Amino acid sequence: MIVRKLQDIRKSDRNVKSAQWESARLLLKDDSMGFSFHVTTMYAGEEIRMHYQNHLEAVLVLKGSGTIEDLGTGITHQLASGVMYALNAHDTHVVRPTTDILCACVFNPPVTGQEVHDESGAYPAEADMTREAALTN
């Protein structure tokens, strides 16, 4: 069983910050759960472009408001407490928080911990040579 306190994670190297967001990563790849679990705050007034080419993500908004635009379709959805969105097709999107947005996020495959978005808005894929070798042998 894994038990962690958000307040402890926020004081550790599992708390990753950028100019646009802060993410407390409660479960990571090395926890061997098959997914990672984060509590993330996206800051009001920012425009956060993301394109998780290597991960699927589900997000539940716990507090705050803003919008998410699907850049593939041009459709914009309102974000508010209780709204969930899932990036099930590696959707390129922009989140525009009007207030700070606190959310719970799940990533598959799990992230390792210190990832930040690259120039395309993605987290890099982690090369797992041991697994690749096992699959090809």
Q: pLDDT means per 10 residues in the chain (137 residues)?
A: 98 94 96 97 97 92 98 97 96 97 96 66 48 35
Q: Is the peptide bond before 110 cis (omega within 30 degrees of 0)?
A: no
pTM: 0.83
- Which domains does the chain carry? 6-136 (2.60.120.10)
Q: Which residues contact 41 (CB under 8 A, 6 or more apart)?
A: 21, 22, 23, 100, 101, 102, 103
